[in-house]
Structure 1
Amino acid sequence: MKNYASNFIKKVEEYGFKAQIISFKHMEEIKLGIENMKQTYEDINVNIGKYLNKFDYKVSDDFLKPKSIIVIAVPQPVARVYFTLGLKRYAVIMPPMYLLNSSSEFEKKHKKICEITEIVEKILSYENFKAIKVNIPCKPLAVKSGLGTYGKNNICYINGESSFYWLGVYVSDMPWENDSWGSIPLWTHVKIVICV
C-alpha cells in the first residue's frame, strides 16, 4: 500500500516547511476540548472568547470526504519595525508570528497564506487528493500530532527548531497510515497557549 502521508511530508519539506498528518477522527475531540475548556475556566469567554468562537470545525462533504488533518509549519523570520517618536527613530523587533498572522476571515486575501495553500493543494493533486484550509486551534494540534512541543513558557516549538513558525491546518481526503496523535493532554496549557 502506498504511503501517501509520508510522501506528502517529504514533498512539503522540499519547500522548507514541516508537516504532520493525523486522522480526521480527532476533529470532534479538538472541538470538545475547546468547549470543555470554556466551561471549566470562567474567564475564558471574557478574555479570549471572541477568538475561540471563530474556530470552525465543520467540513462540507460536498467538497471532499475528510480523512486526515494536515498541520503545516512554515518558517517565519523575525522582523524589525521602525517608529518615529518626536524626532527620534526607534527600532522594535516584531515576533515572527505577527508577520503572517491574519484573522481567519482575511486569510483568503493574504498573499503568503494563499501561496502556502496553493503548494499544499499542488502536492496533494499529484495523487488526486484535495484539501481545504480550516480555522481550528493550531498550536495544540501541532503538539498532539508530534510536530511540536510546548516549552516551559507555553510557546509551541517546532521539534528540533524554534518557535519562529506560522502554523496552518488543512483537512484533506488523503488517507493516513500512521496516526501520530500523541499521549500529551490536549489542553494542558490551553489558557495561555490559545492566545499566544
Structure 2
Amino acid sequence: MKEEFILNNLRIKNEVISIKRLQELQADFDKTEQDGNLSNNEVFRSYIGNFKFQVPESLPDSKYIVVLAIEHNLAKVNFHLNGQKHEIIFSSPYHELGVSVEEMGKLVERDIIKETGYKVEHNRAMHLKLLAVRSGLGRYGRNNICYVDELGSFLSIYTFFTNYDFQDDNWYDLKMLDECEDCSICYDNCPTGAVSEDNFVIDIEKCIPLYNEIQGEFPEWFQSDIHSSLMGCIRCQQYCPANKKAVEKIIRLEDITEEETKMILDGRLEEKLALSIGRKLKMFDNVKHAEYYLPVIKRNLEVLLN
C-alpha cells in the first residue's frame, strides 16, 4: 500500500507492518548481536539503548505499525569570518525537519487510516531502519543506510502504532539496493574505512558521526581532511547514484554572522547570540542545549575552516 503524501512541502512515503511480525523483527536484531556485528562502543550502545520490538503498554490492542519516511534534506549554511564567507554543509539529521510528530500523527489518521475511532501512537523505541526495510518501505545501501525510492537516504523514519487493522501482511527480505551490486562509490569515498566491500554492517567505531556529534576530543587517528559536514558525515551518501535527485534538493539556512561565528570560536556563550545561532541552524531553542552543542560546533567548525 505504499503511498505518497506532501506535508509542509515535504514528501512522505509510507508502509504498514503487522505486529504479528514483532517477534521476527526482534529475532533479526538479536541475530545481528549474536553474530558479533554490533559494537560495544559506549556511545553507540547509548544510541540503541534497550530498544525492543514490542507493543507499547499504552496501546495494548495495537494491530499495525505505520512506517513513514519523510524527506529530510541536506542544508548549506554560510559562516562569516574575517570578511570572508565560508559555505559549509549541514547533514540532515541535525537540523529540524519542519514537521511535528503531531502533524504526522494527524496525517496517519486522516490520510492513511481514513476512518474515525482508532488510536495512533508515535513510538521511536525500535530499530527503525530494520523496520522500514522489512515493511518494504526501504532497502539497505552497501553503507548500511536505509534508502527509500525517490527519497534516497536523506530522510527521517517515524513509526506509529495503531489499533486499526490494515489487513496487509508486508514482510520483505533484508535486501540491498540493486545499484549496490557492482558499485564501490560509498566505500571508495569513506575516509576512515568504516564502509567496506566485504562486510554489510559498517564498522561503527570508524564512523565519523560517532565522534563529531558529541562533545570531546577527536581520536588521534582522525585526520583533519576527513570532515565533510558541520556535524555527521555525508561522504558515503553524497556521491551515491541512489541519491542523485536527493542531493539536488539542498536547502539554504540563514547566514551565521561574523559576530556569531566569533562567539562560537571564542568558546563564549552570550544568550542572545547563542539562541540566534540555534534558530538559524534549526538546531536548538534554549540555553541548556546551546551549552551542549556550541562546543561541538566550535570544535568541528575549527577543523572545517582550516
Q: Taking structure 2 as the reference length, what is the TM-score of the superposition?
A: 0.49
Whether the 8 Å contact between 1:44 and 1:191 is mirrored in structure 2 is no
Match of 2:36 among 36, 41, 44: 41
1:134 aligns with 2:134: no
| Letter paired with 1:163 | S
Task: Tell me how many residue pairs correspond in the alignment.
Answer: 178
- Aligned partner of residue 45 in structure 1, secondary structure: coil
Closer/same/farther in 2, CA of residues 77 and 113 from structure 1, 3 Å limit: same
| Letter paired with 2:115 | Y
Match of 1:13 among 5, 8, 11: 5
Q: What is the CA-CA distance between 1:153 and the residue it aligns to?
A: 2.9
Q: What is the CA-CA distance between 1:43 and the residue it aligns to?
A: 5.5
Closer/same/farther in 2, CA of residues 42 and 96 from structure 1, 3 Å limit: closer
Q: Pairwise mapping of residues 96-175 of structure 1 onto structure 2 (< 5 A)?
A: 96-100=92-96, 112-123=100-111, 124=113, 126-135=115-124, 136-175=126-165
Whether the 8 Å contact between 1:69 and 1:172 is mirrored in structure 2 is yes
Match of 1:24 among 19, 27, 50: 19
Partner Cα separation in structure 1 for residue 169 and residue 71 of structure 2: 24
- Aligned partner of residue 171 in structure 2, secondary structure: coil
Closer/same/farther in 2, CA of residues 146 and 50 from structure 1, 3 Å limit: same
| Letter paired with 2:105 | T
**How much is the aligned-residue C-alpha RMSD, in angstroms?**
3.2
Q: Taking structure 1 as the reference length, what is the TM-score of the superposition?
A: 0.72
Closer/same/farther in 2, CA of residues 190 and 181 from structure 1, 3 Å limit: farther
**Per-residue Cα deviation, 1:24-77 (whole angstroms, up to 9, x for no partner):** 112222223333323332762325211111525443455351111111011222
- Higher relative contact order (Cα pairs below 8 Å, separated by 6+ residues): 1
Closer/same/farther in 2, CA of residues 62 and 147 from structure 1, 3 Å limit: closer
Whether the 8 Å contact between 1:100 and 1:166 is mirrored in structure 2 is no
**Per-residue Cα deviation, 1:84-124 (whole angstroms, up to 9, x for no partner):** 455543221122233347xxxxxxxx962332223224444
Partner Cα separation in structure 1 for residue 38 and residue 175 of structure 2: 21
Gaps of 5+ in 1: 1-5, 102-109
Whether the 8 Å contact between 1:69 and 1:171 is mirrored in structure 2 is yes
Gaps of 5+ in 2: 177-198, 205-209, 211-232, 234-306
Partner Cα separation in structure 1 for residue 37 and residue 175 of structure 2: 20
> Would you tell me which structure has more strand in proportion to its own residues?
1
- Aligned partner of residue 33 in structure 1, secondary structure: helix
1:93 aligns with 2:81: no
Aligned residues with identical type, % of pairs: 25
Q: Which residue of the partner structure matches residue 275 of structure 2?
A: none
| Letter paired with 1:179 | D
